[in-house]
Chain A
Amino acid sequence: MTIPSAPLLNLTGIQAGYGEINVLWGVDLTLARGEITALVGSNGAGKSTLMRTLSGLIVPTAGRIDWAGEDLCGQSPAQILARGIAHVPEGRRLFSSMNVEDNLLMGAYARKEPRAAIRRDLDRVYATFPKLHERLGQAAGTLSGGEQQMCAIGRGMMSAPRLLIIDELSLGLSPLLVEQLVEALRSLNREGLSILVVEQDVITALELSTSAFVMDMGRIVQSGRSAELMHDPAIRSAYLGALAA
């Protein structure tokens, strides 16, 4: 076992919800720098709410989000993005009648670097997902589900983030496509990108990640190294039921 690297992000006691409805009841979570971390949990556990809180779409009512010595609580999505956290939202949320390239350029909207730097990252996205290059002039709404997910991830990469959070990586995609996406994320990770992925399919999640958190009813109920969680009897019976038998 390797020694865990310095934490990249540290959440403590995060409470958040929608107006009167509280969804997160004190979430504690630590992400290691340069790792792929998975967040799993049943429907309605609050995973997406946690992602929205992290990216500033929802302002937490209590708790701290420590990132590079700073508390991100109460910062706007633009400020959080500028700090290096990009959020690929659940449902992909592409700009449907804009073409692929314009969607990707929207990912770089807030960057102030010269055009050449952005062009280089655009080429990098195309190198990662050659399919997108073939379809760069096509309206994003007319892409297949897999291409849309590539476009959404590519758009997230275009902000040149240090942490990419992806909500629902494999939902509705064929196993072959999921395998391609997993490969792409691994290669991005090898280049130094930290990734937090919310994933319904626990096997995919645990195979992809180094460590993982399990969420239920707005709390983290279990965490650990993914390889160990894979053999955890509780996880196996709760999430891998039929397959484990």
Chain B
Amino acid sequence: MLILQILLNAIVLGSLYACIAAGFSLVWGVLNVINLMHGSFIVLGSYLAWGAYKALGVAPWTSLLIAAPVFFILGYGIQRGVLNRVIAAPVLVTLTLTFGLDLILNNAMLVAFKADYRQLVLDPSLGSLSVGSLVVPVDRIVAMIFSLLLTLALFFVLRRSRVGRAIVAVRMDRDAARLMGVDVPSIYATAFGLGTAMAGCAGVLLAMIFPISPIASGSYLGKAFVVCVLGGLGSVPGAVVGGLFLAIVESFGSLVLGPENAVTLSFGLLIVFLIVRPQGLLGKRGFE
């Protein structure tokens, strides 16, 4: 029963990981930019959910409706206004730039919210669901369902919509996409906007479960990075597979090795994958 309980928790966590990583993976895959701001966007999303609930009583799942467009516009603007100027530069340059921007954003949050942990506590609480001896708090289930829905939505946008096809086309062959009349800078901005919106929404959902602090951004960024490498870069299914895999390994790993070793374990896994299977579990180079 303990095993089942751990597996259940891992699936909840894995869905959140998928949501954290999907946008990061999209930006990395399409723009070839490793966006170090991703973790801070997530934390900012958590603050948005926290503030909306505290000040206005807006439930996190309703906040998603605000977070998605707001973060999309934020990401679109940052890409158009700043990143786009150096997009052709080597990956190290864009990495450094997002590092700098992240310092600004993260410190601004530190100033605004302090490093104290805050908690979004739903009142009344949603209670828990129990089946046999398995117990899961309902807020976690809600967060899981919305994570999966968001990830699925991103998948369908990329697969089925006109702009999604253009994003995928740009990723696969930029010049060929230009020949189709695709305006590459605006597609880059759209992809970055989508990635940022995913981060913000993930933050909203994480606020239902985890304490909120600017300090958490590094750990979210690390998860996104590891999930991308595990699942395979630049694909939504890769993010889902990688997210679940990481969560399962972490959960059972901390059972065996102790929770203090979970982070070491995930980065150990990262190194093993980079050496043994750099293309990730799904093993595809193209964007799916």
**Chain A contacts for B166, CB-based, 8 A:** 106, 109
Determine how close the nearest CB of chain B comes to the CB of A218; give it in whole angstroms: 21
Determine how close the nearest CB of chain B comes to the CB of A31; give it in whole angstroms: 19
Q: Which of A63-71, A87-95, A168-176, A188-196 contacts B (4 or more CB under 8 A)?
A: A87-95
A82 to B182, CA, bound (A): 11
Residues of chain A at interface, number, CB under 8 A = 26
Instruction: Name the contact of A109 in the complex, choosing from B175, B180, B287 (C-beta under 8 A).
Output: B180
Q: Is the CB of B181 within 8 A of A95?
A: no
Determine how close the nearest CB of chain A comes to the CB of B168; give it in whole angstroms: 6
A77 to B175, CA, bound (A): 9
**Chain B contacts for A105, CB-based, 8 A:** 165
Determine how close the nearest CB of chain B comes to the CB of A120; give it in whole angstroms: 18
**Chain B contacts for A110, CB-based, 8 A:** 180-182
**Chain B contacts for A96, CB-based, 8 A:** 172, 286
B116, CB-defined interface residue at 8 Å: no
A53, CB-defined interface residue at 8 Å: no
Determine how close the nearest CB of chain B comes to the CB of A49; give it in whole angstroms: 13
Determine how close the nearest CB of chain A comes to the CB of B265; give it in whole angstroms: 32
Determine how close the nearest CB of chain B comes to the CB of A40; give it in whole angstroms: 22
In chain B, residues 170-210, which have Cβ atoms closer than 8 Å to a Cβ of chain A?
Answer: 172-173, 175-183
Q: Is the CB of A57 within 8 A of B172?
A: no
**Chain A contacts for B180, CB-based, 8 A:** 81, 106-107, 109-110, 155, 159
B85, CB-defined interface residue at 8 Å: no
In chain B, residues 241-288, which have Cβ atoms closer than 8 Å to a Cβ of chain A?
Answer: 284, 286-288
Determine how close the nearest CB of chain B comes to the CB of A143; give it in whole angstroms: 14
A105 to B169, CA, bound (A): 11
User: Per-position contact with B for A204-229: 1 when CB-CB < 8 Å, else 0?
Assistant: 00000000000000000000000000
Give the nearest-CB partner of A108 in chain B: B180
Residue of A57, A86, A97, A102 with highest tally of chain B CB at under 10 A: A97
A78 to B179, CA, bound (A): 7
Q: Is the CB of B178 within 8 A of A97?
A: no
**Chain A contacts for B178, CB-based, 8 A:** 56-57, 76-78
Instruction: Name the contact of A97 in the complex, choosing from B162, B177, B181, B288 (C-beta under 8 A).
Output: B288
Known A105-B165, A106-B180, A110-B180: A95·B173 in contact at CB below 8 Å? yes
Instruction: Name the contact of B169 in the complex, choosing from A76, A89, A95 (C-beta under 8 A).
Output: A95
In chain B, residues 154-173, which have Cβ atoms closer than 8 Å to a Cβ of chain A?
Answer: 162, 165-166, 168-169, 172-173
A109 to B286, CA, bound (A): 20
Give the nearest-CB partner of A110 in chain B: B181
Known A102-B165, A105-B165, A109-B162: A57·B175 in contact at CB below 8 Å? yes
Q: Is the CB of A109 within 8 A of B165?
A: yes
Instruction: Name the contact of A106 in the complex, choosing from B169, B175, B183 (C-beta under 8 A).
Output: B169
**Chain A contacts for B162, CB-based, 8 A:** 109
In chain A, residues 30-70, which have Cβ atoms closer than 8 Å to a Cβ of chain B?
Answer: 55-57
Residue of B166, B175, B181, B288 with highest tally of chain A CB at under 10 A: B181
A98, CB-defined interface residue at 8 Å: yes
Give the nearest-CB partner of B172 in chain A: A95
Give the nearest-CB partner of A139 in chain B: B286
Known A106-B165, A109-B162: A81·B172 in contact at CB below 8 Å? no
Determine how close the nearest CB of chain B comes to the CB of A179; give it in whole angstroms: 27
Determine how close the nearest CB of chain B comes to the CB of A82; give it in whole angstroms: 7
A82 to B169, CA, bound (A): 19
**Chain B contacts for A155, CB-based, 8 A:** 180
A57 to B168, CA, bound (A): 19
Q: Is the CB of B172 within 8 A of A97?
A: yes
Determine how close the nearest CB of chain A comes to the CB of B88; give it in whole angstroms: 13
A159 to B179, CA, bound (A): 10
**Chain B contacts for A82, CB-based, 8 A:** 181
A155 to B180, CA, bound (A): 9
Instruction: Name the contact of A81 in the complex, choosing from B168, B181, B287 (C-beta under 8 A).
Output: B181
A231 to B180, CA, bound (A): 39
**Chain A contacts for B183, CB-based, 8 A:** 76, 78
Q: Is the CB of A95 within 8 A of B288?
A: no
Instruction: Name the contact of A159 in the complex, choosing from B169, B181, B287 (C-beta under 8 A).
Output: B181
Determine how close the nearest CB of chain A comes to the CB of B179; give it in whole angstroms: 5
Given contacts A77-B181, A95-B177, A110-B180, 10 further A-B contacts (CB under 8 A): A76-B178, A77-B179, A81-B179, A94-B176, A98-B169, A105-B165, A106-B177, A106-B180, A109-B166, A109-B182
Can you list 14 A-B pairs, Cβ within 8 angstroms, ordered by A?
A56-B178, A57-B175, A77-B178, A78-B182, A81-B179, A81-B180, A81-B181, A89-B176, A93-B175, A97-B286, A102-B165, A110-B181, A110-B182, A159-B180
Q: Which residues of A contact B (CB under 8 A)?
A: 55-57, 76-78, 81-82, 86-87, 89, 93-98, 102, 105-107, 109-110, 141, 155, 159
Nearest 6 CB-CB pairings of A with B: A110-B181, A97-B286, A93-B176, A78-B181, A81-B181, A77-B178
